[in-house]
A and B are shown apart, each in its own frame.
Chain A
Amino acid sequence: MTTSAEPDWGHSGELEDVSGEIAIVGVGDAIYQRASGKSANEIALDAIERAIADAGLRPDEIDGLMQSPFMGGGFTADTYRDYFGTGQSIWMSTDGGAMTWAATAPVAAAQAIREGKARHILNLFAVDWFSQKGKGGEGPGKYHGEERMKANFELPFGWFPQPVYFATIARRHMFEYGTRPEDLGAIAVACRYHATRHPDAITRQRPLDLAGYLARPMMVDPLRMDDCCLISDGGGATIMTSLERARDLAKPPVVVAGVGEGYSGSGAYWSQQGDFTASPQVFSAPRAFEQAGVTPGDVDVLTLYDPFSIVALMQIEDMGFCPKGGAGDLVADGKLHFDTPGLAYNTHGGLLSHAYVLGISHVNEVVRQLRGEAACQVSDCEIGVYGGYTGHMASTLVMRRDR
């Protein structure tokens, strides 16, 4: 853990402590190797169908749906009922989705379950960006280009889109902490190591070692191609219910043990963040670990929202897995690989090598690890963590096996 006082460039969120109240009981992913030709809703339904089957529930037993506060909201209760031919009433929430919300959705879900608004709540996220790209769609970049200060004081200078922000951050991190290209490479290689052993992963047939990583062309120097996430179609769904109810269902419950949320004071202006080479995990992770009664050293598997290798490296430091600037040692020599002593990291391949589904599959992967069902199974896996990120926010979800 960091020893310094909480810095002043951001703050923690005020989430209610719901630790031990609810569990994850069903997970489903829908990953496509190339353009699926499906809409985001159709992809979401594929994932939902799998999650419901995984939980051993019937479609008419789902009475809560959570999705992202942005990016459409085009998935309605009727979308669900029409597809499954059911007629139940469904509690709807926009406190869910992927990115940071994949970690914080359990808080709103626990509250809804406690208040009797729903019993089995499904959090979902899906994108059709690969298919949209083929149709001239704009993908993730457009959400940033429309912001006024970026439009005036960043875009004219070529400081856009995201790979440029994170290359600039990476170079400064290298200067401040001595981080090397090999350290970023270790993260990319670990993701690929797992992806090549994972049936769903988009890069499963494209192995990558450190020498291969270093030989790859720069995308935005100092970031190489393999430091940057994929663009793909895909989605995921995660079903939550009370811990009590979870114990009656098909799979061993995975308990929500702690949730944290942190904010950067500079919003979405990466250039202006007080600590340029840190993530708001500084403000998020400590509270989640405290709620769960564990420390980073207790964690058996870690998945991180990883649009770029440097984002993962900073989160590893900012969550307290090592002192700030010390991630290089922690990630070296295969120590992030599931079958090597160390910190098993993004054991499905992450955004870098599994698919660009923005973190919901990261949560689902931790669930599978804690059940003992993962493709790259970590032995004796009891505590798992997902770290979410959006730039102006970070979040932390600590999960554990049911005792």
Chain B
Amino acid sequence: MSTAPLPERGGSLTEPFWQAAEEGRFVMPRCSGCARYVWYPEEACPHCGENEIPWVPVSGRGQLFSWAEVKHELYPAYEDTLPYVTGIVTLEEDARVRYVTRIVDADPAALAIDQPMQVVFRTLAFKGVDGEVVAPVFRPSAGAAPGKVDE
């Protein structure tokens, strides 16, 4: 029985992310050879071939790359959360890293591309699916002017 859309737990490439999230830490895989982030995770670094790719903490600050507001039921497990905002945030450490995330605590009409965003941890649960997961999601940075990075 699939537990989707909860993440599959236990995969060697993915479990460290979810383990860290449970502890309130937002981590990303970073190559020990070339220091590039490897997202999505891979066994070997696509940039230099290195196999040593430890998960390292990141600041949780980023910019809103794009988003969508889902208003219509497309997938039964999401029904209870409609309407919701989901999208992509790029990391402050490296804007080439695109992190797909829920956007929370935001008025969709007030969102703007490239605005500063901040990680926050939320427990995600879905209609008709047993279990839950703590996940790093993003909200607009408090008090930040659009276009400026929240320090």
Please give the residue numbers on chain A whose beta carbons come within 8 Å of chain B beta carbons, in ascending order.
141, 145, 148-149, 151-161, 163-164, 167-169, 171-172, 175, 217-223, 225, 269, 271-272, 276
Contact = CB atoms under 8 A, between A and B. Distances in A.
Interface of B: 4-8, 11, 13-14, 17-18, 39-41, 65-72, 74-75, 78, 81, 84, 86-88, 98-102, 108, 113, 124, 133, 135, 137
Contacts of A221: 68-69, 71, 108
The 7 closest A-B pairs by CB, nearest first: A167-B68, A155-B5, A172-B66, A221-B69, A158-B86, A149-B40, A175-B113
B70 A152 contact: no
Contacts of A157: 86, 100-102, 135, 137
A223 B71 CA distance: 10
Contact of A169 (B66, B101, B137): B66
Contacts of A167: 68-70
A155 B4 contact: yes
B89 to A, nearest CB: 10
23 contacts: A148-B8, A148-B11, A148-B13, A151-B5, A152-B11, A152-B18, A153-B40, A158-B81, A159-B87, A159-B100, A160-B75, A161-B75, A167-B69, A169-B66, A172-B113, A219-B71, A219-B74, A220-B72, A220-B74, A221-B68, A223-B68, A225-B72, A272-B39
Contacts of B74: 141, 160-161, 163-164, 219-220
Contacts of B17: 152-153
Given A151-B8, A171-B113, A217 B71 contact: yes
A158 B102 contact: yes
Contacts, number: 115
A220 B11 CA distance: 31
B70 A151 contact: no
A176 B91 CA distance: 19
Contacts of B113: 171-172, 175
Contact of A168 (B14, B81, B88, B108): B88
A220 B68 contact: yes
A152 B65 CA distance: 20
A175 B75 contact: no
A158 B66 CA distance: 14
Contacts of A154: 100
Interface of A: prevailing SS: helix
Nearest to A218: B71
A269 B99 CA distance: 12
Given A153-B100, A157-B137, A220-B74, A272 B40 contact: yes
A168 B87 contact: yes
A308 to B, nearest CB: 12
Contacts of B133: 156
B144 to A, nearest CB: 18
B7 A171 contact: no
A158 B135 contact: no
A175 B66 contact: yes
A158 B72 contact: no
A145 B76 CA distance: 13
B51 to A, nearest CB: 18
Contacts of A220: 68-72, 74
A167 B71 CA distance: 12
A221 B41 CA distance: 29
Contacts of A156: 5-7, 124, 133, 135
Given A145-B5, A221-B68, A222-B68, 17 more contacts: A151-B4, A151-B8, A154-B100, A156-B7, A156-B135, A157-B135, A158-B70, A159-B100, A161-B74, A167-B68, A168-B67, A172-B66, A172-B113, A219-B71, A220-B71, A220-B72, A271-B100
A164 B88 CA distance: 11
Contacts of A276: 65-66, 98
Contacts of B69: 167, 218, 220-221
Nearest to B97: A272
Nearest to B7: A152
A132 to B, nearest CB: 16
A169 B66 CA distance: 7
Contacts of B102: 157-158
A97 B14 CA distance: 35
Nearest to B78: A158
A164 B86 contact: yes
A151 B7 contact: yes
Contacts of B18: 152
B5 A271 contact: no
Given A220-B71, A269-B40, A168 B98 contact: no
Give the most central of A141, A154, A157, A223: most B CB within 10 Å.
A157
A157 B124 CA distance: 8
